[in-house]
Amino acid sequence: MQPIIGISAGRDRSDTNLQKICLIEKYSTAIIQSGAIPLIIPAGIPKSAVNEILNQVNGIMITGGGDIETNRFNGQDHTRVYGVDTDRDDLEIGLVQAADKFKKPLFGICRGIQIINVAFGGNLFTDIQDQKPDALRHDWFPDFPRDLLSHEVEFNPGSLLERITELKNMEVNSLHHQAIMNIADDLVAIAHSPDGLVEAVEKIDHPFFLGVQWHPEWLFSLESTKKIFTAFVNSTKI
């Protein structure tokens, strides 16, 4: 049987001001091409339903999107904070914590790695450019191709990503203006960009618990990316 992967979705408004559940198709396509069935989890589902969601899926993917509510991590407010959806924050933080508790495989992408860190008590740069002056440019959006390889990330020796990809580093895209500032105690940073920003985290007491700051769903043509998605899907079959 094919595993079912629950994928968190955001919300947006149409041109006629209708509320929409919003998920870029690249996420579900990557899951389908990796041998699993995507099941979309919309924002607005109450946090009380999290355990039931976990019972119905084999793994969870937390996707990219708008920023997390700043006061959830005692962050510094910034004019570039956008797209805050407190219902989505509640649901995704609940999913992360439940996936940890019940040892359910979890993969977080961009906003997803930030949700993971906040869920375990870490904090974020609310704007990299202003709060880390020596940083590379990381916000290569919206006026650039989303698969633009903008910098390298280096993997920690022996880390989950090194074992999966059999690489020491790889080139990635970069579509974010926020990032991990102080990593939560329960997490391990396993990849960094040349300016020292955390680009990936794992939880070593978990079968598969990975967050990456880049957007691998836009880089699915790369063999290293296919290996990451395949490893995630395969972990849900155990």
Per the structure block, which two tokens stand in for 56?
């119905």
Cβ atoms of residues 104 and 145 within 8 Å: no
- CA 107/CA 74 separation, integer angstroms: 25
Catalytic residues: 110, 215, 217
Per DSSP, 48 falls in state G
User: The domain containing residue 55 runs over which residues?
Assistant: 4-235
Q: pLDDT tens digit string along 71-129?
A: 999 999 999 999 999 999 999 999 999 999 999 999 999 999 999 999 999 999 999 99
CATH code, 171 = 3.40.50.880
CA dist 155 and 49 (Å) reads 36
pLDDT tens for 146-199 read 999 999 999 999 999 999 999 999 999 999 999 999 999 999 999 999 999 999
Residues constituting the chain: 238
pTM over 0.85: yes
Domains identified in the chain, total number: 1
Strand ranges across the sheet with 106-109? 37-41, 4-8, 59-62, 106-109, 209-212, 198-202, 188-192, 151-155, 169-172
Crossing angle, helix 25-33 and helix 223-235, to 10 degrees?
70
Closest alpha carbon to 149 in 227, 202, 221, 228? 221
